[in-house]
Structure 1
Amino acid sequence: MTATGGTRAGGLRGRLAGLAELFPGLLVAIIVALAATFLSEHYGGPVMLFALLLGMPLYFLSQEGRCAKGIQVASKQVLRVGVALLGARITASAIAELGLAPIVIVLVAVVSTILLGGLLARRLGLSRQFGTLTAGATAICGASAALAISSVLPKHPRHERDTIFAVVGVTTLSTLAMIFYPLLTAALGFDDVQAGLLFGGTIHDVAQVVGAGYAVSVEAGDVATVTKLLRVALLVPTVLAIAFLYRAELKAEGGRARLPVPGFLFGFIALVAINSLGLLPAPVQGGLQDLSRWCLVTAIAALGMKTSIKALLQVGGRAVALIVVETLFMLGLVLALLLAVA
């Protein structure tokens, strides 16, 4: 065997050994994701929350042993793939069909909520990063936004704990909103379009937006879904803006500031463009959306396994108050805007 052939064979063996090292942890995360999906489909409830709750008791697996590295990869690399594939849900024409008023409502609500989060966090004695994380998750697309924003925030000892709290918080509040917001729109006498705009403009997670909208009517569900996808489309500029704002805290070792632009953002943009041009056949689009959901559920299961329940409880009442106020602020603002343009 030549030296080149031996090098290639050695490299292949090394890669296979690396994959074998990751397999146990990835397998555990996938099994937890499957269990969460089964519970969600058969008993109702948000699959993301089930994945978190099922993963948390397995915290010990992420600390040492054969599963640790695979869980780490599932919580980061698999997550980024899932966020990038969200772009398969969105087209430019779907955004354009909303008209000007819904776009203005969404932009004002998202920007205002994120600004509020940073300011209010400081008033409550919490870090600006924590306020940005929870507000971004509240304003854009719940757990997916929390994971994407977390990837470009400065890392600190409480970083993963804060991320998992944001995911748990927005998922829980999103579920409550799915139950109570339709009752609110009925009490206010909203028509289907107004109800859809409220659901799509305020509820955190896509699944709960769809659930609330179609519980009212098909028209409300359609309007809610498109409005929500507009918020999801703001994920890219929001993550880029947050990365830019925190660039001074994310300096490279050489002392030069760098702007971290994760590759998954470019993947997201590319898929939106391809989907907008009609180049994604329906089966491929559906497959990518399913793959995105599985990647995100698997990543959240892994994050659950990396989170100490004891450490999560130490976040405190101020953090809970922060994310509740952000949610109520966004609801009140969108309600005011809808009534103003009615």
Structure 2
Amino acid sequence: MAGRKDGARPRRGGGIASIIDTDAAAAHEVFQSYAGMEGLPAAPPRPRITAREFFLSVYPGLLAAATIALAASWLSQHYGAPVMLFALLFGMAFHFLHEEGRCVGGIEFASKAVLRTGVALLGARITLDQILGLGWAPIAIVVAGVSSTLALGYMLGRAMGLTRGFGLLSGGSVGICGASAALAIASVLPKTRESERDVILVVVVVTALSTVAMIVYPLLVTALGLGETRGGLFLGGTIHDVAQVVGAGYMISPGTGEVATYVKLLRVALLLPAVFAIALVIARKGEGPAQLAAPLPLFLLAFAALVLVNSLGFVPAAAAAAAGEASRWCLVVAISALGMKTSFRALAQAGWRPVAVIVLETLWIAGLVLAGVELLT
């Protein structure tokens, strides 16, 4: 994944700016805020963005992602192949648009804000009865996968001669929710000379491997004959980022996509307790920064609220159908943008040790979740 070449950084305070800047730039901002906390000079905050500035910054990239999504949908309807796969592959062919220029902000916006909107709207198609019908197995599988992957990351990082921070960052990214988890965990880790480099490496490698998993895992689910529910459990419990989980699930079927999304959001919900636990351990050693920055994602709360409202029967059938169609389009646009963000060249430049650690963590959580699916469902 390529960072912005104009040196832009996200504005302080999050908001709109946090969803039109790259994850690499967000990592720079994390460490810039550390410098300010330590009494060192930090760059002044950029002025608040206006509605016109926001529109001008996002519309070229958003239009490009929407155009790719339309082309992918047309081909899917005419050739019967998964629309998410077409969107991803077409997006990857236009990666140069994310390297620099006017499209970067809109591509970031589509891959984050549009994705979160699509995931939240999925709640209008799911009820509590469907979730409870899955039983306790998803919760057990998710808790075991997240906790063991964090521990494995810590041990592999030390065994490979990497920093302790890299092991925790990679384990959290693979186990919980990709780049978002890396940035949240980075906010509570001790700041060292290698800290920012570690975060960038994790973001690059996890994003690339998660894209590979989005393509390969649906084939594995089909080959193993896992079916909709068990396949959704596997995909939601193993793939790193929310976007790729949704894309992989809907490549198989809408039912698989819904189960995969629910299981993935269980993992996302563990971000706050995981970051808190890491911060608590580090604080006891007197090493960590003074603040904890891991808010519960708003799209997760919106998803849960829509599931509850739908379960109570307050969502008319026509509204649920409209929300489902809007969600589908949001997700196809987001996957197109995700393809444009994917840089396998950046993965090749990361070096073999970080890649090896994250590959081993990925294989670990895949094997553990597959075993859980076979034994508990």
2:310 to 268, 275, 280: 275
Q: Separation in 2 of the partners of 1:266 and 1:74?
A: 20
Write the mapping of 1:206-245 to structure 2, written as runs, cut at 5 A: 206-209=246-249, 227-245=259-277
Cα deviations across residues 173-223 of structure 1 (Å, max 9, x unaligned)? 2432322344345xxxxxxxx7556423322434544655x7xxxxxx96x
Residue 171 (1) aligns with residue 211 (2)? yes
C-alpha distance 104-319 of structure 1, shift in aligned 2 (>3 A)? same
Residue 259 (1) aligns with residue 293 (2)? yes
Cα deviations across residues 301-339 of structure 1 (Å, max 9, x unaligned)? 445545655323213444544444344333433454456
1:50 to 86, 89, 100: 89
Q: Separation in 2 of the partners of 1:154 and 1:92?
A: 34
Most deviating of 269-278 and 78-87: 78-87
Tell me the secondary structure at the aligned position of residue 259 of structure 1: coil
What letter is aligned with 2:291? A
C-alpha distance 49-101 of structure 1, shift in aligned 2 (>3 A)? same
- Aligned residues, how many? 297
Partner residue, 2:129 = 93
Whether the aligned pair in 2 keeps the contact of 1:88 and 1:285 (CA below 8 Å) is yes
Tell me the secondary structure at the aligned position of residue 318 of structure 2: helix
C-alpha distance 58-69 of structure 1, shift in aligned 2 (>3 A)? closer
Partner residue, 1:190 = none
Q: Percent identity?
A: 34
1:103 Cα deviation from its structure 2 partner: 4.5
Q: Separation in 2 of the partners of 1:74 and 1:195?
A: 31
Write the mapping of 1:299-314 to structure 2, written as runs, cut at 5 A: 299-305=334-340, 309-314=344-349
C-alpha distance 298-152 of structure 1, shift in aligned 2 (>3 A)? farther
2:169 to 111, 119, 129: 129
Whether the aligned pair in 1 keeps the contact of 2:58 and 2:103 (CA below 8 Å) is yes
C-alpha distance 324-89 of structure 1, shift in aligned 2 (>3 A)? farther
Q: Separation in 2 of the partners of 1:278 and 1:29?
A: 35
C-alpha distance 107-39 of structure 1, shift in aligned 2 (>3 A)? farther
Partner residue, 1:112 = 148
Whether the aligned pair in 2 keeps the contact of 1:118 and 1:132 (CA below 8 Å) is no
Task: Give the TM-score normalised by the residue count of structure 1.
Answer: 0.67
C-alpha distance 59-130 of structure 1, shift in aligned 2 (>3 A)? same
Whether the aligned pair in 1 keeps the contact of 2:172 and 2:178 (CA below 8 Å) is no
Task: Give the TM-score normalised by the residue count of structure 2.
Answer: 0.62
What letter is aligned with 2:269? P
C-alpha distance 39-157 of structure 1, shift in aligned 2 (>3 A)? farther
What letter is aligned with 1:238? L
Residue 199 (1) aligns with residue 231 (2)? yes
Q: Separation in 2 of the partners of 1:32 and 1:296?
A: 12
What letter is aligned with 2:350? V
Q: CA RMSD in A?
A: 3.9
Q: Separation in 1 of the partners of 2:120 and 2:270?
A: 14
Q: Separation in 2 of the partners of 1:229 and 1:70?
A: 24
Q: Separation in 1 of the partners of 2:212 and 2:360?
A: 14
Q: Which has the larger radius of gyration?
A: 1
Whether the aligned pair in 2 keeps the contact of 1:32 and 1:55 (CA below 8 Å) is no
Q: Separation in 1 of the partners of 2:81 and 2:213?
A: 16
Whether the aligned pair in 2 keeps the contact of 1:116 and 1:135 (CA below 8 Å) is no
Residue 26 (1) aligns with residue 62 (2)? yes
The structure whose residues are more often helix, as a share, is 1
1:53 Cα deviation from its structure 2 partner: 0.8
2:360 to 309, 312, 325: 325
Q: Separation in 1 of the partners of 2:316 and 2:93?
A: 35
C-alpha distance 58-225 of structure 1, shift in aligned 2 (>3 A)? closer
C-alpha distance 275-182 of structure 1, shift in aligned 2 (>3 A)? same
Tell me the secondary structure at the aligned position of residue 270 of structure 2: helix
Cα deviations across residues 240-292 of structure 1 (Å, max 9, x unaligned)? 2345356699xxxxx85143424333323322322332322333333334433
What letter is aligned with 2:298? G
1:234 Cα deviation from its structure 2 partner: 0.2
Q: Separation in 2 of the partners of 1:339 and 1:79?
A: 31
Q: Which runs of no fewer than 5 residues in structure 1 stay unpaired?
A: 1-13, 137-144, 186-193, 215-220, 250-254
1:17 Cα deviation from its structure 2 partner: 5.3
